Amino acid sequence: MIKTKLSMLVASSLLCGSFQALAMHPQPDPDNAGAYLLSREEVQQAEKDKTLNPMYAVWANALKTASNAVVDQITIGASTNPANVKRVERVFGQMEWDFLTQMAAPEYTYERFLKAVGKFPAFCGDYTDGRNADAICKKSIVTAFAHFSQETGGHIAKDNVSDNPQGLEEWQQALVHVREMGWKEGQAGYTTGCGQDDWQNRRWPCKAGEGYFGRGAKQLSYHFNYGAFSEAMFDGDATVLLNNPGLVADSWLNLASAIWFFLTPQAPKPAMLHVIDRTWVPSARELNANIGHGFGTTINIINGGIECGEQNRTKGQPVNRIRYWEGLANYYAIPIETDEENTCWQQTPYGSLNLNGATDVLYTNWEGDWGYYADRPGGYSFECKLVGYQTAYSALVPGDYEKCVTNFYKSHANWPTVTVVDSIKPPKEEPPVGGVAAWNAEKAYSKGDKVSFNNQLFQAKWWTKGEQPGVQWGPWEVVAE
């Protein structure tokens, strides 16, 4: 097994634990009573300090996308095709595609597959550390087809001559369905949660009358997944696919959605690519739960709660996936390392694995840090922290940390109003009232202390620091001179 320089660096830095962010210095907003200003430099530094582990850069790089103008120019055999597309054409050409898609819906074509690959340069991309990029590419495609065969396959027995006159293996029956069975365009559905006043709808608002049922090779479902995928495909614009989800069935997006899923970690789950190319290093807790390298872990990533664990050992879905993988891997002579397991019945499903507080597991979503900070106004942190569940803000989406700090999607109840600015002007000098010094945002005050502010005299009702006088329900009350 090749243990890469990156994997050793990831492992060693995980053992060092988390990194402490720099102190924040929120200042009262002179134009908005009770609100605060934060320096963009401090916010960006805090984000950087929380994502120092090199794996964050690996994840972000894997999710970089080419422009759709480049994708539109990709055609079979074109000399101008991106390097990763040319690699796919070399290791998995049109003949291989045709061999595995003899039952496929006509919406799935080899050219659309190449366009989907071209959108994500990291899929079948290069390696500079000695790993065999061609072999990893082929293994990635074969892994994807094993899952396609389960998710959208025909599942027709080879000896069923009436329905399968060609006698195709079940692992040759991928991509039969482009839409979830029983659903059609123009049919509203899968709208659970649509229209509610919550952060999911503020970020990914449903369009009335649209259905967010399963479409494409991975059967993308629900508005929050359509919205997030749309942002990745259309330069941050969630509305394109929320308003027209049918594109995920009728264009190259039907395959791009599967590659996007393949490259996206669902913390604490790793990205499927990094399980296959071994960039991912299992944590101690994962190893104790028998989660390591191999096809079995990709099942756990996709649907571990339903398909992994001893209780699901003989269940149809995982048994099918494993049969399809083993058939494909054997046909394409994919080497299986000695530490790789094809099954996941021996694994704890990720949803049942308690990783709270683990210092050797990385998370990819931001949430408001509700810790108490005595040196900051109201004890608020004015920071966000990484958590292992879905939130409105991703650590892999540029700009999301600042949105989290400013509570952009109103997901943090009772969070102070925060504006991030490039520079904070020093507060203007306040004239003293009755000889009492002006309030100082950097100074701590005890109960009974007095200050001057806006030509009025205020007295502290309790200990306070950084909380501006004159705010309703605040720590200050007006007193006579």
Beta pairing, strands 456-460 & 476-478: antiparallel
- Taking CA 59 as the corner, what is the angle to CA 413 and CA 290, rounded to the nearest 5 degrees? 90
Cα–Cα distance for residue pair 81/269, rounded to 1 Å: 32
Q: Is the dihedral of CA 154, 318, 293, 233 positive or negative?
A: positive
Q: Which of 42, 89, 107, 151 is catalytic?
A: 151
Beta-carbon neighbour count of residue 212 at 10 Å? Answer: 26
Cα–Cα distance for residue pair 124/249, rounded to 1 Å: 23
Cα–Cα distance for residue pair 42/24, rounded to 1 Å: 7
71: enclosing H helix or E strand: helix 68-72
Residues whose CB is less than 8 angstroms from the CB of residue 420 and which lie 6 or more positions away in sequence, other chains included:
37, 38, 39, 40, 43, 402, 405, 406
User: How far from 419 is each of 143, 198, 402, CA to CA, in Å?
Assistant: 46, 21, 9
Q: Known catalytic residue: 89? A: no
Cα–Cα distance for residue pair 364/387, rounded to 1 Å: 7
Orientation of helix 253-263 relative to helix 133-151, angle to 10°: 110
H-type helices in 120-237, by residue range? 133-151, 199-203, 223-233
Q: Is the dihedral of CA 386, 391, 396, 402 positive or negative?
A: negative
Q: Which residues are catalytic?
A: 151
